[in-house]
A and B are shown apart, each in its own frame.
Chain A
């Protein structure tokens, strides 16, 4: 069994272990889940030791035939695009488990589903066969549906159904594209390498149509305007740890898939480059303005996700080294930032039971630790130099500028809007006179502090020393951008 299979099986094993435990031993269940999360995290980060940053090839590759007649195989591997996502997924998975201390009802089912969800997400990032990819892609939906539906907020039923339908609807288009692709090719295989090798030969028009299918499928997940209808509802209603995973990793599955599809159908992407840019810029500004308009904190972060994923799409659409680097970095940055924000706001909500920003004030005096970490996360969301957001946005802007020139000024405009709502929120939450209602809020406890400061530390660390992360993605990015001659 290869190390990647082990990585995949580990959370499932933890889930099985939890299933075997009696449902009233909460402490035990939580301990098992945390241990599993930590082990997975350590195993994933151990991959860094043997990962060759100079090579753009798939590494730790392993392949078992699954159904030879269908051409499917159980193939796993990682490269410079997937490794950062795997690392992020295990990190945020662990943080989400840490932050789940507030879950009181049906603890057993909750942790079980969380671990299954983590395994499915890891599978998406590691799969090297489109059939396997699709399988993992769809299997993230089931735990998520239940997680939102059972442990969510007031309007959880509607939100989970909405989320499910949207994503399913999107993936139908992806499935159609995949099947058409499978059918037009002589090899009859779903393996990513073979499919990519053959798809490049297709005429431009076919590639364009196929890519459109992928765009709809991945665009719903990312989300790209106007396919983001599920996102505000799901994010607002989901319990905070699930929101962390949802915005931290689930959204990245969309952009990750888009990068993979772009590598497979280069002519199709190039033909759609302008549309991608337009969609990206619209998402960026649309999401930003709506985030500015929200007084519900969770909804604000949800819309800011739309805006930030717009930056990712700008980077992908630029199709050059700087742009793609910016896209991957922004995926990491947004994962960390949105994770940290949902975590902190979720913890705040647990204490105050209100998400309306108008109810807050002057928390810096009552909860200084909250104030520091939240402020850091917000300035990272704006992309202040010294945070990972800056590295990402800078690369995306450079990439966009190389491709389109001054048009990327609109991206800076989006950043400005994000500064407006981020600073406004920080001001509203932490400054102003003390209100009687806000006087007795407990500050972050030890475990919560650990979870939040791990994310904040990562934000700052990657902001000040981005070189290791950039080196990690450089080979794969260079390989992909060379396809597009930039």
Chain B
């Protein structure tokens, strides 16, 4: 049965990523000459996953979906147990097939798009990693494994936003996006922990069953935690701003990350937890509100955008917002269909975007009449409602100043006490290094700071003790004493050798005997 090999679906792209990484690290098959093998590894592994998925799909159509597959225990500690399991029900299979297909298409697109780029191998490595991660998210049988995929996807997103790492904006944006995503991860981890605590397991099937048994209040808290994760990953209000920063990466990666796949991971999480959300009406209302406001926000901001990638991304936000709204209204089935269609459509648009500008020769569509009459609203939308600035003001600056204070404390008090070097201690030139170490001067056994001085002082005392008492007093002294005794004995021996003393000795012996 093809479903017995379900684990291969996730493993193949990850192995391809590993292989490309090893290849690059060992310096074999890099540069333009190695592009062929790299792209083949990435494409064929993904094609393998897709074929396997299609076979499982076929099996599901002919008989029935495999459902929950358990391959073993990943980690176990006390009552805590995490299985290596996959959920291949209708939703999981459909999503996985979609993911594999879209990843394959955009990877194939990248072969030409990235040709002769400096980071060609790096790009394909991260894309393979992302494909594996995304497949893991949608096929994993429990929250922990999904979270593994979730984080790997976040990591690959970080790596690709910072693809051109020599540019300052790219690295800044990468960090910003990564840190923003941590908020959602906190929610995800909290959800996992609470599920362990209150439900006793993290298998998706367990969570779904528990939904009908547990108290609404507990379910609400768990649901809220997962909802937070979903909102951040899918860039819903108030976390929308990271996604426009994320467009820094190469176009094919923007396509599958923010256009069509990763941005839908949050919606997938909602779909996975449908029974849980259905039990908690408050959460559904919240979902609907978040979705509606994000949809409006995306639509309005989209109206004033002037470049094609931004316009597309705001339209994505509003579409995903609509999916949240549909979930909030209980139309999960509709949201699933919406997700699939939107993913395919958006992937096409994104990949097409660079060429589109070449093909079109009509001018940019202007913002609608009513909006142009509202200059304040127009400005606000251009500034994206100042969400970024608000976040800066609320979170970033206080954190930074707190960190600054702590660093000052560290530098003024802790460093001096322990005796760490003031700066990083790095020297760049030989001359500086000589000055630092004092060429020719023995700096071993010198301490810095209070603790260092104390140790230095103690060590010097002990050194003196060692030199004078142990080494010279003990070892050398012993030898000297033996030398001295030996000298005297030699004298005695010499005297005994003299005939007169020998005679004397013999006579003395006689005297004693007699």
Q: Interface residues, chain A, CB within 8 Å of chain B?
A: 158, 161-162, 165-166, 169, 226, 228-230, 232-233, 286, 289-290, 292-295, 357-358, 361, 417, 420, 424, 432-433, 435
> Of residues B458, B466, B482, which shows the largest number of chain A Cβ atoms within 10 Å of its Cβ?
B466
Q: Contact at A229–B471, with CB atoms within 8 Å?
A: yes
Verify B471–A290 contact, CB threshold 8 A. Answer: no
Pairs A-B, 5 closest by C-beta atoms: A229-B474, A295-B444, A293-B445, A289-B459, A433-B430
Also in contact, A286 and B462, with CB within 8 A (given A233-B475, A295-B445): yes
Instruction: Confirm or deny: B490 has a beta carbon within 8 angstroms of a beta carbon on chain A.
Output: no
User: Could you say which of B427, B459, B476 contacts A292, with CB atoms under 8 Å apart?
Assistant: B459
Query: Which residues 443-473 of B have a CB within 8 angstroms of A?
Result: 443-445, 455, 458-460, 462-463, 466, 469-471
Chain B residues with Cβ below 8 Å from A169 are 478
Contact A292 B475 (CB under 8 A): no
Q: Closest CB-CB distance, A330 to chain B, in whole Å?
A: 23
* B427, B430, B469 interface centre (most CB from chain A within 10 Å): B430
Residues of A within 8 A of B116 (CB): none
Q: Which residues of A contact B459 (CB under 8 A)?
A: 289-290, 292-293
**A162 with B479: CB separation less than 8 A:** yes
Contacts of B430 in A (CB 8 A): 433, 435
Is B307 positioned at the interface, with any CB of A under 8 Å from its CB?
no
A162–B463 CB distance below 8 A: no
| Cβ of B442 under 8 Å from chain A | yes
Q: Is the CB of A295 within 8 A of B460?
A: no
Contacts of B25 in A (CB 8 A): none
Question: Could you list 23 examples of A-B contacts with CB < 8 Å?
Answer: A162-B478, A165-B475, A166-B478, A226-B469, A226-B474, A229-B474, A289-B455, A289-B459, A289-B462, A292-B455, A292-B459, A293-B445, A293-B462, A294-B445, A357-B444, A358-B442, A358-B444, A361-B433, A417-B455, A432-B433, A433-B427, A433-B430, A433-B433
Residues of A contacting B1 with CB < 8 Å? none
Once A358-B443, A433-B433 are accepted as A-B contacts, the answer to whether A293 and B471 lie under 8 Å apart by CB is no
- B25-43 toward A: CB 8 Å interface, digit per residue (1/0)? 0000000000000000000
Which residues of B sit under 8 angstroms from A435, Cβ to Cβ?
430
In the complex, what residue of chain B is closest to A296 when comparing beta carbons? Answer: B444
Q: What is the CA–CA distance of A226 and B444 in the complex, to the nearest angstrom?
A: 24
In the complex, A420→B455 CA distance in Å? Answer: 11
A265 → chain B closest CB, angstroms: 27
- B429 at interface (Cβ–Cβ under 8 A)? yes
* Bound complex: CA A114 to CA B479 (Å): 26
- CA distance in complex: A294, B462 (Å): 12
Query: B479 to A294, Cβ gap below 8 A?
Result: no
- A169 vs B482: C-alpha distance when bound (angstroms): 12
A230-B475, A289-B455 known, 4 other contacts, Cβ within 8 Å: A165-B475, A165-B478, A290-B459, A292-B459
| Interchain CB contact under 8 A, B444 and A294 | yes
B contacts, CB < 8 Å to A: 427, 429-430, 433, 437, 442-445, 455, 458-460, 462-463, 466, 469-471, 474-476, 478-479, 482
Q: Are A162 and B475 in contact (CB under 8 A)?
A: yes
Tell me the complex Cα distance, A279–B240, Å.
65
* Dominant secondary structure of chain A at its interface with chain B: helix
| Max count, chain B CB within 10 A of own CB: residue among A229, A295, A358, A417 | A229
- Which chain B residues border A232 with CB–CB below 8 Å? 471
Min CB gap A292→B, angstroms: 6
Cα distance, A361 to B434, chains bound together (Å): 11
Please determine whether B479 and A161 come into contact, CB atoms closer than 8 angstroms.
yes
User: Contacts of B437 on A, CB cut-off 8 Å?
Assistant: 358
CA distance A166 to B470 in the complex (A): 12
B311 to chain A, nearest CB (A): 51
B contact residues around A290 at 8 Å (CB)? 459, 462-463, 466
CB pair B479–A165 under 8 Å, yes or no, is yes
**Are A293 and B475 in contact, CB atoms less than 8 angstroms apart?**
no
- Cβ contacts under 8 Å, A289 to chain B: 455, 458-459, 462
In the bound assembly, the distance between CA atoms of A162 and B471 in angstroms comes to 10
* Bound CA span A228–B471, Å: 9
A158 touches B460 (CB 8 A): no
Roughly how many angstroms separate A21 CA and B478 CA in the complex, as a whole number?
40
Q: Are B462 and A229 in contact (CB under 8 A)?
A: no
Q: Nearest Cβ distance between residue B360 and chain A, in whole angstroms?
A: 55
**Chain A residues whose CB sits within 8 angstroms of the CB of B445 once the complex forms:** 292-295
**Which A residue sits closest to B430, measured CB to CB?**
A433
Chain B residue, CB-CB nearest to A288: B459
Q: List residues of chain B with CB within 8 A of the CB of A420.
A: 455
CB atoms of B471 and A295 under 8 A apart: no
Shortest C-beta distance, B251 to chain A (Å), equals 40
- Min CB distance, B417 to chain A, in Å? 15
Q: Which residues of B contact A293 (CB under 8 A)?
A: 444-445, 459-460, 462-463
Q: Assuming A166-B475, A292-B455, A433-B429, is B463 touching A229 (CB within 8 A)?
A: no
A165 to B474, CA, bound (A): 11
With the chains together, A161 CA to B470 CA distance in Å? Answer: 16
Complexed CA–CA distance, A289 and B447 (Å):
12
Q: How far is the CB of B468 from chain A (nearest CB, A)?
A: 12
A295 contact set on B, CB distance < 8 A: 442, 444-445
CB-CB under 8 A from B475, the residues of chain A are 162, 165-166, 229-230, 233
Would you give the shortest CB distance from A145 to chain B, in whole angstroms? 14
A358 and B443 alpha carbons, distance in the complex (Å): 8
**A233 and B471 form a contact (CB under 8 A):** yes
Closest to A289 in B: B459
For B463, the chain A residues whose CB sits under 8 A away are 290, 293
Among B471, B475, B482, chain A packs the most CB atoms within 10 A around the CB of B475
Residues on B with beta carbons closer than 8 Å to the beta carbon of A433: 427, 429-430, 433
* A158 partner residues in chain B, CB cutoff 8 A: 476, 479
Chain A residues with Cβ below 8 Å from B458 are 289
Do B470 and A226 touch (CB < 8 A)?
yes
Q: Which residue of A lies closest to B440 (CB)?
A: A358
- Cα-based distance from A230 to B437 in the complex (angstroms): 32
Structural contact, B470 and A228, CB atoms closer than 8 A: yes
Cβ of B471: which chain A residues have Cβ within 8 Å of it? 229, 232-233
Q: What's the Cα separation between A435 and B437 when bound, in Å?
A: 14
- Whole-angstrom distance between the Cβ of B439 and the nearest chain A Cβ: 9
A357 to B441, CA, bound (A): 12
**Alpha-carbon distance between A433 and B427 when the two chains are bound, in angstroms:** 9
Chain A residues within 8 Å of B442, by CB: 295, 358
Known contacts: A432-B433, A433-B430. The answer to whether A229 contacts B470 by CB under 8 A is yes
Contacts of A432 in B (CB 8 A): 427, 433
B429, B462, B482 pick with most chain A CB within 10 angstroms: B462
- What's the nearest-Cβ distance from chain B to residue A332, in Å? 28
Closest to A420 in B: B455
A433 to B475, CA, bound (A): 40
Query: Considering the chains assembled together, what is the distance between the CA atoms of A458 and B113 in angstroms?
Result: 49
B462: chain A residues at CB < 8 Å are 286, 289-290, 293
CB distance from B419 to the nearest CB of A (A): 10
CB distance from A23 to the nearest CB of B (A): 32
Q: Report the Cα distance A158→B478, complex, angstroms.
A: 11
B470 CB contacts on chain A under 8 angstroms: 226, 228-229
**Chain B, residue nearest A358 (CB):** B442
Give Cα A293–Cα B460 distance, bound, in whole angstroms. 8
Neighbouring A residues of B427 by C-beta, 8 Å: 432-433
A166's closest neighbor in chain B, by CB?
B475
CB distance from B119 to the nearest CB of A (A): 26
Query: Shortest beta-carbon distance, A142 to chain B, in Å?
Result: 19
Q: Which residue of A lies closest to B478 (CB)?
A: A165
Complex CA gap A257/B145 in Å reads 53
For A228, list chain B residues within 8 Å (CB): 470
